[in-house]
Structure 1
Amino acid sequence: MRVQVVDHPLVAHKLTQLRRVETPSNRFRELTKELVMLLSYEASETMATEPVEIQTPVTATTGTQLAGPKPLVVPILRAGLGMLDGMTAMIPTAEVGFLGMARDEETLNIITYAERLPDDLTGRHVFVLDPMLATGGTLAEAVRFLKRAGAAKVTCICLLAAPEGIERLRSEVSDLEIELFLGSIDEKLNEKAYIVPGLGDAGDRLYGLAD
C-alpha cells in the first residue's frame, strides 16, 4: 500500500484553517473543496493516459489525454459528499458512484446500507473520498467492496488519518493494490475513536450540525 502525505504549504495552511473550532460550516465546505483539489492533483498522477493527435492554431502535434475507461469517483456517505465538488472540479469527465457504510454498534461489523455504482468496474481506476481515516474499518471494507466489483486500482483520498487507521488498512488490504493520499497523519485516536488533534466530526461541520 502506498501512503503519500501531500507536503505543500497550501495544504498545510488550509488544513490549519479547517481545524479551527471557530471556522463556520460555509467556510469549512469551501476549504474542504480547495483541499481536495490540491490532494486530487497529486493523487491523479498515476492515471492512465494515451497520446492523441491534435491541431493547434499553428501546427499539428501530439498531445496527451486520459485513457479509458473513465475514472470513477466514489464518496463514502455522508461526509465524503463534501469532498465531491473538489474532485469533480479537477476531473470533470469522471463518473460518480456512491457507497453508504456504517458500523453495527452490536457486532462492530461494517454494513453497506447504500450502493450506487456501475454494474462492472473491470479495469476502472476508482477514487474513494472519505475525510477522516480514523479506525480504518469503513475504508478497508470500501476497498474490498470495490475490488470484488472488479476495480483495477483504488486510490483513497482523506483529509486526515490516524496511525491506527493506516495500520489497519495496511493489514486488512495488504493483498490489494491501493494508494492513500493524505493531508496529514495526526497523532492518535482518543478513547472515542476521534482523531487527535483532528478537526472534530467532519460530517457535522460540513453540514452545519456543529455550529
Structure 2
Amino acid sequence: MVINLSKQHSLLSNWVAELRNVNVQGDRMRFRRNLERIAEVAAYEISKELPWETVEIATPLGTHESKLLKDQPVLATILRAGLPMHNGMLNYFDKADNAFVSAYRKHHRDGSFEISMEYMSCPDLNNRVVLISDPMLATGASLVKTIQHMKAEWNPANIHVVVAIACTVGIEFLERECGTNIKIWCGDIDEELTAKSYIVPGLGDAGDLAYGSKMQS
C-alpha cells in the first residue's frame, strides 16, 4: 500500500517544494530540516496505525485512563542520506530502538552500479514494527536489499518505508520483491527515472545536498 502525503495540500507540500528548488537547496541546514519535518509528519501518521493500550496514570489531583503506545517500533535508516529523516522519526518515537544500514550504489566504469551492503547494526526485529527511512525511492534496489536481509534474519510484524520522493518504478519493484506487509509513505511521487537511475524531476542527490559531495570508491 502506498500513501502519497502530498495528495492533500499541507505544509508538507511546501517542504517538498523547497527540497526540489535549486534556489533553496544550497542551504544544507534547511535541506536537512525539511527532510526531518517530512519524516515527523510521516511518524505522526504512522503512529495512528500502531497498537495502543489504556493505562491508569496518577495526576496531582487524581488518576486518568490514558492511551499509551503499547510497543516501541524499531527505526531504521540507510546511511548517509537517511540520517535527517531518521532524526525526524526519532523526534516523535523518542523511546524507539534503532537500526543503521550501510547500503549504497557501488558504481562501475561502464556507468552501471550494484548495491553494496557492508553492515547492518540492528536489534532483534522478531515481531517488531520496523520504520525504514530513506529520502529517495528510485530503483528501490537499496531498500529491497535491506528489507530482504531483515526478513531473512528475523520476522518483523510490519514494515513501513518512509521516503521524501518516490518513483513509480521503485514502488512497483519494492512491492513485487518484498511482499504485502510493506506500507510506503511518500512525501511525493514522480513518474520518470533516468538511464542513470535518478528520479525526474526529483531533487538531485539527497546525500550530497544534505552533507556535501563525496568521492566514489
Same fold flag (TM > 0.5): yes
1:66 aligned partner: 69
1:87 aligned partner: 89
Farther-moved stretch of structure 1 (125-134 vs 102-111) = 102-111
The secondary structure found in structure 2 opposite 1:74 is: strand
**Corresponding letter in the other structure for 1:202:** A
RMSD: 1.8
Shift of 1:147: 2.1
1:155 aligned partner: 160
Identity of aligned residues (%): 36
Whole-angstrom CA distance in 1 between matches of 2:83 and 2:145: 18
Whole-angstrom CA distance in 2 between matches of 1:48 and 1:144: 25
The secondary structure found in structure 2 opposite 1:46 is: coil
**Corresponding letter in the other structure for 2:4:** V
Shift of 1:187: 2.5
Shift of 1:10: 0.7
Shift of 1:19: 0.8
* Alignment pair present for 1:13 and 2:14: yes
1:185-200 aligned within 5 A: 185-200=189-204
**Corresponding letter in the other structure for 2:81:** A
User: Contact 1:71/1:95 (CA < 8 Å) preserved in 2?
Assistant: yes
The number of residues matched between the two structures is 206
- Unmatched segments (≥5 aa) in structure 1: none
Cα-to-partner distance string for 1:58-115 (whole Å, 9 max, x where unaligned): 43221111113x2110111111112121111111011111011134546955332121
1:5-84 aligned within 5 A: 5-6=4-5, 7-23=8-24, 24-68=27-71, 70-84=72-86
Whole-angstrom CA distance in 2 between matches of 1:21 and 1:209: 16
Q: TM-score, normalised by structure 2?
A: 0.88
Whole-angstrom CA distance in 2 between matches of 1:152 and 1:146: 11
Cα-to-partner distance string for 1:37-74 (whole Å, 9 max, x where unaligned): 11221123212211111123443221111113x21101
The secondary structure found in structure 1 opposite 2:78 is: strand
1:115 aligned partner: 120
User: Contact 1:43/1:157 (CA < 8 Å) preserved in 2?
Assistant: no
